[in-house]
Amino acid sequence: MSTISTEEQTAMCESFARLLAEKSGEAQVRDAMETELGYDAALWTSMADMGLLGVLVDPAHGGIGGGAVLLEALLEEAGKHLLCSPFISTSVIAANLVAASDDDCLKEEILGAICTGEMIFAVAATGDKGLWTTEDIDLRAETVGDDWVVDGSASFVLHAKGAHQFLLLAQTTDGLRALVADAEQDGMALDPMQANDPALRLSRLQCSGVNARLLTGVDEADIDSALNLARIAQAAEHAGGVKRIFDITIEYLQTRHQFGRQIGSYQSLKHMAADMLVEVESAASAARHAARAWDAGADDTQTLVSLAAFAGADAYRDVTAQAIQLHGGIAYTWEHPAHLFWRRARTGLWLFGSSDQHRETYLASLENA
Amino acid sequence: MMALEKPDSDEQLAADVNAWLDANWDDARRCEKGADKLDVRSWLTKLLESGYAVPTWSPEWFGLGLGSKQGRIIDRILKARNVIGRSQDRYNLGAVTVYRLGSPELKQELLRDMLTGSFSCLLYSEPNAGSDLAGVRTKAEWQAGPDGGEYVITGQKVWTSNATEATYGMLLARSDWDVPKHSGITFFIFPMKQPGVEIRPINQITGESEFNEIFISEARVPARYIVGERNGGWKVLQTALAYERLIMGEGATERQGKEKGAEPPLIQLARKHGKLQDPVLRQKMAQAIAYRQLNALNMQRAKAEILANGSSSLMSLGKLAMSRIQHGEARVAADILGAASLLHGKDHPDSADMNFDSAKAYMNSIGGGSDQIQRNIISERVLGLPREFEVDRNMPFRDVKSG
């Protein structure tokens, strides 16, 4: 599926890691958290310059034509550095759904602008319950003459502030469909939802008579598939983040002394560390195998995506929680980075479906007939 | 002994092996009874002389000097044709230990016998030396005599499988009580068939009896049957254990591979008992099945890493992960069965299976190093965390508290 070589992919991940080390250190993440946008626009431009924003976009539209495996590897790096950005909404969900459309003009217009970093997408894909299921979507789209008009509301809208376009999932007489709408128009009312993770930008969206363009040729299966890709991307961020906070914790166990010895020599802490390692490695294995299955179009893609989604989210939640506990008082301070990972982990538990939902989907996918 | 020429290519090797088997191995005879019954020892002798029993060993010691990749090619062919005695350079623990760590004289004396049907059992654990294996108290006392003399062995060993069939025991015994515990242990190849060796089967909580206790009372082992140095047994043991883990790890990844594609047994059990739609049970089933699949994915990654780099730290996670899998699956199975899980016996086969599995799960979580020891190993060897202070580490063993 991917048109670029393994060596090029490795090189790309390495340069992304270097960029993040330089531009997405802890201090910069804290700065980005305080901004209105919630991310560093200059870093976004650098990512565009490296071709990262078009990782999934076909070279014909200015992208690099990578697949889920490359996306996964890149987002492990992003997760390690707690990258704040509208990457998943823009370069994963919107890019994937627009590319799935048969409207060549629209693709031409949007995909190129995604690659250059000039077009940032907000994604409205769930209702007030935040279930990310078809039934949960409260936006409705209908045709008025030749045009599409969207009404209703959406919650947990990702990166609405500063977005140029909205990707809207809406109910239609033909079932669930995806549409794009200009951010700058009347009838689009945004209400920020304050998040526990200060890096996360969520909004409630109220649409009344919003003009939108239907992504023709995109059906419910394509939408499921795009959300699955977002789940792989998020699982990769989890895998990277959980590895990083784990490494930080192990280093602390080796350097912190109490009662005249390294605290990492106490079995009660060592045993926690060993159990955490199983979770850390399982999260990575699950995310990577899900990405591979996606690229191969394997029969068990849904099984592996759901597994990666809940295994990654639960591992991140549990390991970050244990990391704070193992650090003791120092990690109870705002200045210590552990809580940044902990907050990010709690974000991932709910975006694109909960672990319980993913477990249900996983089990259903394993049942014969 | 007959030394075969090194093959030019893997294809040539496979062709050579198959041609040799065509001429020498008759799979049908394996199951014959009476006059046509296969004489295992003469077959193993023939296999040994072909070099295919231990192909990665040096030609001086029954091998062909091949690499591990070519060894695996031969293993696959022998396995596919049901050949008895394949890959003893990996699976015959006693012979591997003698080959790797024994003196040339010991190899000369024992290897041929060990590779032609005289197998070995393990005499490591004792009632008071389980997780703390360096605390063995079986006595080895030297007595003068020809050929370096001999050792008189007295003590008790436990958790030995295949003890009645074994010709040799890989024995860990205390040869010096006045030095710290790791420094006074000697590793012997101990002849099992002699007076003073009593084997008693252990009845397990599963109802099975796979293991034995071995009571050793003034039994003898020649001094020349020491592997490595006298009092250097701990080091030998570490190498022997590493081979053992390697075999167990390979077995685990092979077993994992077979399960792909089939509907997980917990789903089948829930359907059979009308519980497949219970939302609480569905969550539990999903989690239990996920742990197994995650471990399989980790082991696939481990395999890929071993192929690429020769080793993988992921391998050491498999055993610990397996404990959670096995105990967890048995627990969910009990939840699916409900009150019927109280029942047992042949009239209640699903409950009986679940009860068996829930007991059998301890085989993994205690046997071969308990989960707690496994966590120590992972945190020390993989994560580099320091060892916990050990009270008895530098104390003469005579003064160490036991019980």
**Which segments in chain A show pLDDT lower than 50?**
1
Q: Which of A69, A282, A303, A319 to mutate to test the interface with B (most CBs of B within 10 A)?
A: A282
CA separation for the pair B185, B187 (Å, rounded): 7
In sequence order, which residues have a C-beta less than 8 Å from that of residue A63 and are 6 or more positions away?
A: A51, A54, A55, A56, A57, A95, A111, A114, A115
What are the tens digits of pLDDT across the range A77-91? 999 999 999 999 999
pLDDT value for B3: 45
Q: What is the pLDDT of residue B260?
A: 58
Spacing of C-alpha A94 from chain mean position:
12
Tokens representing A239 are 């895998």
Partners of B155 in the β-ladder: B216
Per-residue pLDDT reduced to its tens digit, B356-382: 999 999 999 998 889 999 999 999 999
Nearest CA in chain A to B317: A278
The domains located in chain A, with CATH, are 6-116 (1.10.540.10), 121-218 (2.40.110.10), 221-366 (1.20.140.10)
CB within 8 Å: B388 and A273: no
For position B244, what pLDDT does the model report?
79
- The ranges of chain B with pLDDT < 70 are 1-6, 248-261
Burial B113-150 (b: 16+ CB within 10 A, else e): ebbbbbbbbbbbbbeebbeebbbbbbbbeeeeeeeeeb
A264/B379 Cβ within 8 A: yes
Interface contact flag, B287 A285, Cβ < 8 Å:
no
- Among A270, A307, A368, the residue with its CB nearest the CB of B376 is A270
CA distance B160 to B137: 16
From the DSSP assignment, how many helices (H) and strands (E) are in chain B? Answer: 12, 8
pLDDT of residue B4: 54
CA distance A158 to B182: 61
Nearest CA-CA distance, residue A82 and chain B, Å = 23
Run of H or E residues at B92: none
Q: Which of B267, B290, B380 sits opposite A367 (nearest CB)?
A: B267
Identify the pLDDT of residue B374.
92
Q: What is the DSSP letter of B379?
A: I
- Beta-carbon separation of A286 and B317 below 8 A: no
Chain B positions touching A367 (Cβ under 8 A) are 263, 267, 276
- pLDDT (0 to 100) of residue A1: 45
Contact B263 A275 (CB under 8 A): no
Of A277, A286, A359, the CB nearest to B383: A277
Q: Which residue has the tokens 């024992």?
A: B110
**Amino acid letter, B37:** K
Instruction: Give the Cβ contact number of residue B285 at 10 Å.
Output: 27
Predicted confidence at residue B18, as pLDDT, reads 95
How many angstroms away from the CA of A108 is the closest CA of chain B? 39
User: Measured between beta carbons, which residues in chain A are less than 8 angstroms from residue B382?
Assistant: 277
pLDDT at B222: 97
Q: Given this model, what pLDDT does residue A31 score?
A: 95
Contact A340, A236 (CB under 8 A): no
Kindly list the residues from chain B whose CB atom is less than 8 angstroms away from the CB atom of residue A286: 294, 297
A73–chain B Cβ distance below 8 A for any pair: no
Give the pLDDT score at B5: 60
The 3-state DSSP class for residue A35 equals coil
Catalytic residue of the set B32, B105, B198, B244? B244
Query: Is 2.40.110.10 the CATH classification of the domain at B120-230?
Result: yes
Q: What is the pTM of this model?
A: 0.89
**CB contacts, 8 Å: A289 with chain B:** 297, 300
Judge whether B244 counts as a catalytic residue. yes
Q: Out of B294, B317, B384, whose CB is closest to A286?
A: B294
Facing residue for B263 by CB, picked from A266, A274, A367 = A367
Cβ-Cβ contacts under 8 Å, B289 against chain A: 362-363, 366
Q: Do A265 and B388 touch (CB under 8 A)?
A: yes
Q: Where in chain B is the domain with CATH 2.40.110.10?
A: 120-230
